Structure 1
Amino acid sequence: MVKWDEDIYNTPAYPVTDAARYLGIPVVTLRSWLKSRPSADNNDQPALEPLIQRPDPNLPQLSFTNLVEAHVLRIIRATHGVKLDKVRKALDYMSQQFDTAHPLVMKRFQTDGVDLFVDQMDRLVNVSRSGQLAMRETLKHLLTRVEWDEEGIATRFFPLIESVPESEKVIFLDPAIRFGKPVIAGTGIPTASIVSLIDAGDEIEDVADEFDCTPAQVRAAIQFEAQNRAA
């Protein structure tokens, strides 16, 4: 059996700029999560590890696992504004509880892990009761954008698309399909291939017929690629 830390889910594959676009995160923000930081408590202490640790520190690309970690961190930081040092302490706690360096990509995090994380955040930043509820609900809701395998490891990610309801999973990234590039769910057709025909002047209905998908899927691919280009 292939070790988790040697498989396709932990292979360097995504340039930081691409990962940031897929996730809707500013590039500068994602880069900050990939850097070590001086210790805030004692300048004589070793630098703190990055929030997201790439599979090979000598290569700039992120893995699929890193992509999912950044998705969860985006929820925590953007939605709830939790400071990085508190997030780091909470993640260290989660790593110890789950005995893994990647607690955010485990299916267990979606269930009891969210409660453990929020409880830990309450100890660190005194989250209000309403704040606890909001954080739990937001995390559990947006974690539905991730699918796990039978071993509980994240294997597929469904990015959010503007103008498409969050309940709909139209596009996904899966390292086992098209090398992890964004594809239309149910077809495996890369979104870039669809948009290349649109850019060449083809009509949406003709592209849908060409790739045996629906006009709605073609429109979602166009929107997804457009928001990536604008990022």
Structure 2
Amino acid sequence: MFGYKSEGVEYPGLWLPELGRSEEKLLGFHDLLEIRFVHAFRKHGVSLQTIRAASTQARELFNQAYPFTCKQFQTDGRSIFATVFDQTGDEAILDLAKRQYAFRQVIGPSLYEGIDYTGEGRALRWYPVKRSKAVVLDPSRNFGKPVLASTGVDTSTIYHAYLAEGRDEKRVASIFEIPIAAVGAAVSFESRIAA
């Protein structure tokens, strides 16, 4: 994310951090989503060199600072492909590292699941729990901290209240005037990230 040094060679980060003006190493909303994509590509066996080349090409091709979140990528475990329109206006698959069109079967990662996009294709908000919209990360709400989508109360606050109240979900729901299910969703989410 912030670059590294190996055998005397300095390698820059894959992109400029969203909050890069700070002296501290901080991550913004789009950084978090880009890291999620890089992690998934690595899990599928794509090399860091290929990811770096694909990121550079995609940034130029799509004119986006955070290209992997623009909902057009797939992988076969060796390369990263983007769905683009060719010269005839037909949809085609482009190998980003090689800048060649591909015709082989590719695997579409389920990374786009839970991400809402603007009309321009920019990531807007992310629901990190599969098949649930109870918890959301939205840069326009509570500075992008995980919050309960229905109330805007951050999940960390609910979780700490749950611990302080002897793990009594009903009591916490009463204190915050929210449904017990919302308390359960916040506790479940926070427990997962604490593990």
TM-score, length basis structure 1: 0.64
Relative to structure 1, is the Cα distance of residues 189 and 73 closer, same or farther in structure 2, using a 3 angstrom cutoff? same
Higher RCO (CA-CA < 8 Å; seq separation 6+): 1
Separation in structure 2 between the aligned mates of residue 176 and residue 191 of structure 1, nearest angstrom: 16
Q: Is the 8 A contact 1:208 1:214 kept in 2?
A: yes
Q: Is 1:223 paired with 2:188?
A: yes
Residue 148 (1) aligns with residue 117 (2): yes
CA 1:224–1:168 in 2, change beyond 3 Å: closer, same or farther?
same
Give distance in 2, aligned partners of 1:203 and 1:118: 52
1:171–1:189 Cα change, 3 Å: same
Is this contact kept in 2: 1:146–1:155, CA < 8 A? yes
What's the counterpart of residue 109 of structure 1?
Answer: 72
RMSD of aligned alpha carbons: 3.2
Using a 3 Å threshold, how does the CA distance of structure 1 residues 214 and 52 change in structure 2: closer, same or farther? farther
Whether contact under 8 Å (2:15, 2:65) holds in the other structure is no
Cα 1:159/1:52, change in 2 over 3 Å:
farther
Contact 1:65-1:154 within 8 A present in 2 as well: yes
Q: Which residue of 2 aligns with 1:158?
A: 127
Give the counterpart letter for 1:88 in structure 2.
R
Equivalences, count: 177
Percent identity between matched residues is 27
Distance 1:122 1:92, change over 3 A: closer
- Distance change (3 Å), C-alpha of 1:198 and 1:146: same
Whether 2:9 is the aligned partner of 1:34: answer no
For 1:134-154, what per-residue CA distance to the aligned partner results, in whole angstroms no more than 9, with x for missing partners?
2x1x2xx32122222344322
Which structure has the larger Rg? 2
Task: Note closer, same or farther for the CA distance 1:180–1:118 as it changes in structure 2 (3 Å cut).
Answer: same
- Partner Cα distance (1:81, 1:210) in 2: 47
Q: Name whichever structure is richer in helix by fraction.
A: 1
Structure 1 position 183, deviation (Å): 0.4
Q: Secondary structure at the match of 1:115?
A: strand
Structure 1 moving runs of 4+ over 4 Å:
36-39, 121-124, 127-130
Give the match's secondary structure for 1:92: helix
Higher strand share: 2
Kindly indicate whether residue 36 of structure 2 is the aligned counterpart of residue 71 of structure 1. yes
SS of the residue 1:156 aligns to = strand
TM-score after normalising by structure 2: 0.74
Query: Partner amino acid for 1:181?
Result: K
* 1:46-81 deviation line (CA, Å, top 9, x unaligned): 844311421326331111121111122122122x12
Equivalent-residue separation in structure 1 for 2:156 and 2:13 (angstroms): 32
